[in-house]
A and B are shown apart, each in its own frame.
Chain A
Amino acid sequence: MHLATSYHPQNKHEDTILSPLRRITFVDRWLWAVLLGVMGLGAYAYSRQWVFGLGVTGMNRPVYWGVYITNFVFFIGLAHSGTFISAILRLAGAGWRKPLTRAAEAITLFSLPFGVASILIDMGRPDRVLNVIFYGRFQSPLLWDFTAVSLYLFSSVVFFYLSLLPDIALCRDRLTEAPLWQQRVYGFLAFGWQGRPEQFHRLERVLDGMAIFMTMLVVTVHTVVSWVFGMTVQPGWHTALIGPFFLLGAIFSGTAAVVIALAILRRVYHMQEVLTVSLFNSLRKLLIVFTLGWLYMMVAEHLTQFYGSLPDEMEVFWQKFTGAFAPLFWLMFLIVFVLPLIIFVFLGKNRIGWMVAASVLINVGMWLERFLVIVPTETRPRLVSTLMAGMGNYQPTWVEGAITASLFAGMVLLYAVFTRLFPVVPIWETAEAVEAETLPARPRRSLFGMRRSR
């Protein structure tokens, strides 16, 4: 199918990067089995929900949205890791991003489906999901979500695949001892890639173009997610800041997730040479900026709320600061802001363990933050807030716990399997010399058909 003369960029780490693809260990199988087990438990929990209805969850009136919607926002936020790293940093010309682009994009790719799944799981009538297509109306922010997230999923797959293409071809040519089905998959997915210079040129240009598009999507997708809340008139939700705050939180938790994934890959697949400490230090700087940015948003939102002191808004405000949600709120503040900032500034430099600890804290905390945006508002709705004595306390049930665990297990499983099938560090992008010696001398055709010479 392919020509044996394919050109592959020279990369001195090629063997290191390909080594995880050459075998599947005992530990792998155990990990996959455990993750599948957790997913099975989630499937059982969901089957109960399907049969009996959403009554098996802890949701009630007025807390109509709970853990599932929190998961939705969190997974979509996590998905911003990859696009931020590879699209925005590509446009910014940050060359250090190259070794970690794929590991980050894989987080995007594998968390998005679970964001979509969270919405489906939250539906009272999942059997009627196609109504959204048959009768969808664009006045509803849910349709904006539907459009933005599906477009994001589709473009992420394309973006991911394109940057994977030269490496698939490399796998096709190098991993000749792999099982036959695997070789066939590589052969098919490589689409006859030969690594000719103009192919690399074209690929780079397409990736640059897509990076612009993806950057716009990154901004819109999470803003639209926040508008599901922001477009209502409910106290605490109805603020123009909710969009930018959600976006910042998404990139924040996404980047922290990249630190965790990278550290695990580095340790497990012995990639100390490829995923250097300096990479982590670069991410650390970004994360310090995001931590401070998060505080800025937090203060801007709550100071405005507090100073204005509108009675309905204050009901929600006090729920978070001193009320039923205060323990969670202050815990969240501690693990999203205080501890990570201390760790990153004073302890994190050159110490991956500390950085991973802070990143785990950030991600747990950002999940809590999403929860604390969604639920306290619902417990203090305008009219009924004073009336519903003893109501509005939301206790998630084991069903919600099991389904949440299974979503995370699914994401980790896809990620783990992926790292055994495809190189998790882009070999061609980190290569010393990407192109063959001779560059094409003819003028390049620009996007709009106008000729320009190099």
Chain B
Amino acid sequence: MTRWAMVIDLEKCVACQGCSIACRFENNTPAVSPEQAARGRAIRWNDVFPFPVNPTEDTGEYPNVKARYMTRPCMHCENPPCTKVCPVLATYKDEEGLVRQNYSRCIGCRFCTVACPYGVRYFNWYAPQWEDPLALRLNPDRLESRGVLEGPAVRPKGVVEKCTFCIHRLAKARARAEAEGRAFRGDEYVPACVQTCTGKARYFGDLDDPNSTVTQLEKSPRAFRLLEEVGTHPKVIYLREG
């Protein structure tokens, strides 16, 4: 079996937000106007934000700041609270551990968005729009079949979207291996954020493969997961700073 996972080494992360931008262009995430963003409607599948060292304490004031940076894709939990509550199976965990989102089935009830403790799910409050030069350069990739629309396909208004671990790249890598008549290997595909990461802080691979980088790094004493106490068992593993 395959269990796709990501390791993010916070020691190497420089908080450049390159992953956010790469994600946005790879996945056609719509940009919203500044006033909409101020109302909390920006869509950032891969968010980068200051994260307090101890969430129960004050973060302090400059220059005595106790803060670090955190980058956050979807955790692709082993036990996802979001998929449980979906009334129509528009979101589900597939056999490779990816938490999928089908835009053409989602009814927009936003139960998954309120159930996710990480806030990785975003809702299309309006139909997405792009300024002209951007509109001409949308990623044409999409996963589409009868009643299914996934990947970077432009979302209709009123549905929920989230990080897919660039599932269209996985599909393309599989197709390429098949066309070349060979078996698909786990290291043939990485999401756009991993490919672009300036500090090479992100690793991607198969947790069920004992020799993969992510499996090796998961054993590190620096490894931790976000909100482990909630019992979601995320497949995004962080490596602590220091």
Contacts and interface: CB of A to CB of B under 8 A. Distances in A.
A120 to B, nearest CB: 10
B115 A59 contact: no
Contacts of A62: 40, 113-114, 119
Interface in A47-78: 52-55, 58-65
Nearest to A58: B39
B87 A137 contact: yes
Given A61-B122, A387-B51, A142 B85 contact: yes
Interface of A is mostly: loop
A63 B55 CA distance: 21
Contacts of B160: 124
Contact of A387 (B49, B110, B126): B49
Given A54-B125, A55-B125, A311 B55 contact: yes
Interface string A214-242: 00000000000000100111100000000
A323 interface: no
Given A53-B124, A124-B157, A131-B88, A65 B110 contact: yes
A123 B114 contact: no
Interface in B8-35: none
A136 interface: yes
Contacts of A65: 110, 114
A143 B86 CA distance: 9
Residue among B87, B106, B156 facing the most chain A CB atoms (10 A cut-off): B87
Contacts of B113: 61-62, 64
Given A140-B87, A234-B114, A125 B108 contact: yes
Contact of B158 (A54, A61, A386, A391): A54
A58 B125 CA distance: 10
A442 interface: no
Contacts of B86: 137, 140
B107 A125 contact: yes
Contacts of A142: 85, 87, 109, 111
A53 B156 CA distance: 10
A390 interface: yes
Contact of B40 (A60, A135, A143, A383): A60
B75 to A, nearest CB: 10
7 contacts: A53-B127, A54-B123, A55-B157, A64-B113, A141-B85, A142-B111, A233-B115
Contacts of B125: 53-55, 59-60
Contact of A136 (B87, B106, B227, B230): B87
A392 B40 contact: yes
Given A124-B123, A311-B55, A387-B49, A232 B110 contact: no
A384 B119 contact: yes
Contact of A123 (B90, B109, B117, B124): B109
The 4 closest A-B pairs by CB, nearest first: A124-B108, A124-B158, A55-B125, A60-B40
Nearest to B50: A387
Contacts of B156: 125
